[in-house]
Every structure is written in C-alpha cells, then in structure tokens.
Structure 1
Amino acid sequence: MSAQLYQPFESFNFSNNKCFLTGEKLQSTEEKIQVFPAWLMNRYNLHDQPFKLLDESMATYKDLKIPCAAHVNEQYLEPLEAEVAQAFDAGFEGMKAISELKLFQWAGKLLYGIIFNEIQVAIRQSHSQGDEFNISQSIIHKFSNLHMMLQSLNKPLVFEEFKPFSLFLFKVNNPENEFAYRDEINTLTFSIRLKDFGLIISLQDNGANRNYHRQLLEKIEGQTLHPIQFEEFCGRIFYSAYLFNRLPEYNILPVGNQIYIEAMSLKGMSAKPLFDDWLGKTYGQVLENFWKRWGFLLFEIIKNPEHPMTFLLDDEGEFIPAEKIDLGL
C-alpha cells in the first residue's frame, strides 16, 4: 500500500487526543512533547521565561506542548533532537556539518508546535465568545504545506530537485550564554542566535529569499559577523519574507512506497515580481525592532530613507569586518 499523508487542516482537528504528526488517536491527552526541547530549555534556563502569543497573552516556554504519540517521539523526534543538540553543542562547525534538511525539520517542528498552540488558543477564544473560528485560506495553505513537509520525518518523502526553504548559517561573535530567538508564523520565518553562530530559515519559500539576497550573500557569506550584523541580515530576511507574494504549490506524486513532492514554478501565470516593493521606511521599522538592544531609533536608521543605516557594507559596498564595529556601548 502506498504511503498516505496526514492532513490535519482538512478536518481542522487540533485537539490533544491526536498525534500532531501522524493523526493517530492517543492513549491519553497527557501524551505530549515540549515544543522547545528540554535540552535547549535546560542550557538557557528557558523553562519559566515568558513567551508571548499572538493574542498578547503570555505563556512560558515550558507551557508550550503538542500531542505526540510516544512511539513517534521515540522513533523519529528524539533521534533528531539528539543530533541537533550535538550540532548546537559543537557550535558553528557542528551546525555546518549537520544536513540542512535536518535543521529544516527541527525548526519546522518547533514553529509548527507554536502554530498548533496558537490555533488551540484562538479556537478556545472564538468558542468562549460564541463565534465561529476563522482563519484565512492563504495561512491554512502555508501551514498545511509546512505540515506536509514535516512528514519527511516519518514518511518516505522525496523533495524532487528543490529545497522548500532558504537557510542561512553564519559564524557570529556572540556574548557568552546569550540566547536570541525569533519567529514570524505568518511568513514561517525563524531565527536563533547562540554560542558562536546564527541560523535563519525561511521555511516555505522554495529558496526565493536566498536568491533575492544573493548579491549581499556573495559579500557576507563565510564571514564572521558581529551580533548587530547578524540581526541586520535577519531583519532583511524577515522583511523580504513579508514581501514575498507567492503561495508555493506542489504536485504530490506517490511512486511505489515513496512520495515525491514536486514544486510548481513560483512565477506561475503572473508577470508580477515574486517580491513586493522594498520600502526603506518599513524596513527601517523592522530594523529598529531587531536592533532594540543597541538603542537605535527609527529616525537615525532612516536618516537617508534610500540608504538606511547598515553595519554590513561600507560606502564602497564592501563587507565591514566584525572587529571594526565599535558601537561605543
């Protein structure tokens, strides 16, 4: 029998009695795993740190859990966590050595876990107010595709000559024990900065963001970044992910006991560019948020709206070495 994909967004069942990955019925609603893995929470004392949800309510990192069959966790997720934990421990070199697909699966599971919690909260709120729960079709499309690709963890899924993501990994001169995490679930963008590296993944763009920033990447990839440089590049990716105006479509082709995923052209039938226009002022607002710890304000950042402040490139367009950055703080 050919492998079948679980599609939770068809029945919209986000209860705690079904495994998030396979849809199988659980023995108990207590059969759950942490969204943020225990090894990560232990290393950075995250358990009781606040985590803000989209409705502005506060949870803690340890509150975020998803229903998962024990055998699924043991067979597929725990080995992945162990491998990623080992890569994190080894820092930049360890991260470089692990496969991009595994980092995508790991970040995707984490982000999908947050999405699962957000949907549960939103459904509860809607019902408590006597309203029908509504979510846009485009968001369902993105979340559904991410979940489909997460099943590469437990199903014989083959990505046919494409990567569903853009992944950026940099060596970064981070302060000791710093933990910096961000996500944007509407655009499925994720970043984490710790030890001596920074990782950014745009989870559902078929590599479009990597191509969009290729000229800048040619100058900075392989360089060691100052944290403010990494956060600047991070701001660029989060903003361009927002400007990305396509919903990737895929053909699903079961062949024997494998399932081939084929990406359809992002251009499709539209002559419109893949990204909306880049606006200096809007980008400046993103940057102000990413640079919050250094105290730069919007009016400083966009003093020249055509050329917002940058720590990545000098006036000649060349990379600024991290050691030359003096923030005077």
Structure 2
Amino acid sequence: MAPQIYYPFQSFKASKKLCFLTGKPLQSSEEQIHVFPQWLMTRYDLHDKPFKLLDESISTYKDLKLPCSAEANELYVEPLEREIEAAFTVGYEAVKQLDELRIFQWAAKWLHGIIFNELQAAMRQQNAEGEEFSVSQSILQRFTNLHVMLQTLSLPIQFDEFKPYSLFLFKVDNLENEFSYRDEVSTVTFSLRINDFGLIINLQDNGTVGRYQQETYDKIKDKVLHPIQFEEFSARVFYSAYLFNRLPNYDIMPIGNEIYIEANQLRGNSAKPLFDEWQVKTYGQVLENFWKKWGYLLLEIIKNPDHPVSHLFDADGNFKPADTLGLGK
C-alpha cells in the first residue's frame, strides 16, 4: 500500500483521540507525549513552571502534551529524542554535526505541539462562548504545510531540490543551566539558547529568511556570541519572518513507494518583493522584547533611527567580540 500523508487540520481533525503523527486511533488516553521533551524539562527544572498560551490562559510545561501512539513514539519520536539529547548534552560541536533534517524534525514536532495545544485552548474558549471555532485560512495552510513536512519522521518523503526551513546555529557563551526559548506561532519561527549554543529556525520559508539574512550570518556564524548578541540576531530573524509576505505552496507527488514534495515559485505572478519594507521602529520594538533581560527601552534602541543600537557590529559594520561588550550575561 502506498504511503498516505495525514492531514489533521482538514476539518479540524486535530483530535486528542488520534496520533498526532500518523492519524491512527489511540488505544488509550495514556498514549501521549510531552511537547517539551522529558529530558529537557528535567535538566532545566521546567516541569511546573508556567507557560502562557495565546488566549492568556496559563498551563505548565509538563501539562502540554501531544496524543501519540505507543508505536509511533517507539519507532519515530524516541529515537529522534535520544539523538537530539545526546548532541545537545555535549554542546555546540556535536549539534553542528547533526543532520539538519533531524533538527528540523525535532523543532517541527515541538512547535506542532505548541500549535496543537493553542488550538485546543482556542476551541475550548470559543465553544464556552457559544461561538463556532475559526482560524484564518493562511495560518491554517501554514500549519498544514508544517505538519506535512514533519511527517518526514515517519514517511518516505523527499524534498525535491529545496529545504523548507532556514536554520542558524551559533556558539554562545551562556550562563550555566540557562534555558532561553521563544517561538512565534504565526510565522512558525523558533529559537532556543542552552548549554554553549543557540539555535534559530524558521520552519516554513523554503530558506528565504536565511538568504535574506545571509550577509549578516556570514559575518558572525563562526564567532562566539554573547547572549545579547544572539538575541539581537534572533530579533532580526523573527522580524524578517514577519516581513516575509509569501505563503509557500507545494506539489505533493506520490511516486512508487515514496512521496516527493516540490516547492512552487514564491514569486508567483506578483512583482511585489518577497519581504515588506524594514521599519526601524518596528524592528526596535522586537529588539526591545528580546533585550528585556538587559533593560533596554525602545527610545534608547532607536535614539538614532538611522543606526539602531547594535551589540553585534560597530559603526563601521565590524563585529564586536563578545569579551569587549562589558555586559553581564
């Protein structure tokens, strides 16, 4: 039998009674996994820490779960978690050696878990208010695309001469046992800073954000960054993902026992640039949020609108070594 892709977002079939990865009915309500991996929650003492959902309700890290069959967990999820845990425990050099697709699958599973829980919370809220659940078609299509790509974990799916993501990896001089994570569900962008590295990934841009930030990335990718420098580049990536104004579309072609995914041209029939215009004030607002730990305010960041504050580069565009910044971590 030819492999079949599972589409949980069609008619909102993202049910707790179906395996998130395969769509197969679960045998028990106990068949579920944590969105935040058990090993990560243990290492950074996250289990009972609060996690705010988009509807402003508060959950905990340990309460965010995904329905997952025992078979899918044993065959696909656990092997991935063991591989990622081993590399992340060693640090930057080991993470650098990982297959990028495995990092993508791991981040996609994590972000899909957040999306699943956000949608469940939204459905509960709207049902309680007597409203019919709805979500924008463009957002739904983005979530659908991400979930199709996630199924490379369990199905013989091949990307036809493209990669669906942009991934940035840095060595970072983090505090010991620091855990810094953020995501932006609407743009499916994710960042994680732990151990001695930082990772940023846009999961659904066909590498476009990577190309948009390539010049900056090339200047800093082999440097050891101060945490504030990593957060500055993260702000650039998250803002770039917000400015990216195309919704990728794909042709999915079953051929024999494999499924090939071909990316359609992003430009389509539009002459509009792929990214909306960079606005310094809006970027400053994003950066202010990423720099909260260090107390920076928007007016300070954009005091000179032509040259917003940067801890990555000096006025001549040269990289500032982390040990010259004179900042606490």
User: Is the pair's TM-score, using the shorter chain for normalization, greater than 0.5?
Assistant: yes
Partner of 1:65: 65
Distance 1:38 1:222 in 2: 31
Partner of 2:309: 309
Listed as ranges, the matches of 1:216-231 within 5 Å are 216-231=216-231
Listed as ranges, the matches of 1:49-128 within 5 Å are 49-128=49-128
Partner of 1:260: 260
Q: Say whether residues 1:213 and 2:216 are aligned partners.
A: no
Question: Which amino acid in structure 2 is aligned with residue 211 of structure 1?
Answer: R
Distance 2:81 2:37 in 1: 7
Question: Which amino acid in structure 1 is aligned with residue 195 of structure 2?
Answer: K
Listed as ranges, the matches of 1:186-205 within 5 Å are 186-205=186-205
Distance 1:328 1:39 in 2: 28
SS at match of 1:144: helix
**Offset of 1:214 from its aligned partner?**
1.3
Distance 2:141 2:327 in 1: 43
Give the TM-score of the pair, scaled to structure 1.
0.99
The C-alpha deviation readout for 1:165-191, integer Å capped at 9, x for no partner, is 000000000011111000010000000
Question: Which amino acid in structure 1 is aligned with residue 9 of structure 2?
Answer: F
**Offset of 1:29 from its aligned partner?**
2.2
Distance 1:230 1:322 in 2: 10
Q: Say whether residues 1:180 and 2:172 are aligned partners.
A: no
Partner of 1:238: 238
Q: Say whether residues 1:132 and 2:105 are aligned partners.
A: no
**Offset of 1:328 from its aligned partner?**
6.8
**Offset of 1:15 from its aligned partner?**
2.2
User: Quick one: percent identity of the two aligned structures?
Assistant: 63
Distance 1:104 1:315 in 2: 35
Question: Which amino acid in structure 2 is aligned with residue 260 of structure 1?
Answer: Y
How many residue pairs match? The answer is 329
Question: Which amino acid in structure 1 is aligned with residue 246 of structure 2?
Answer: R
Distance 1:149 1:218 in 2: 27
Distance 1:92 1:328 in 2: 21
Distance 1:27 1:316 in 2: 62
What is the alpha-carbon root mean square deviation over aligned residues? 0.9
| Gaps in structure 2 of 5+ consecutive residues | none
Give the TM-score of the pair, scaled to structure 2.
0.99
Distance 1:179 1:217 in 2: 23
Partner of 2:43: 43
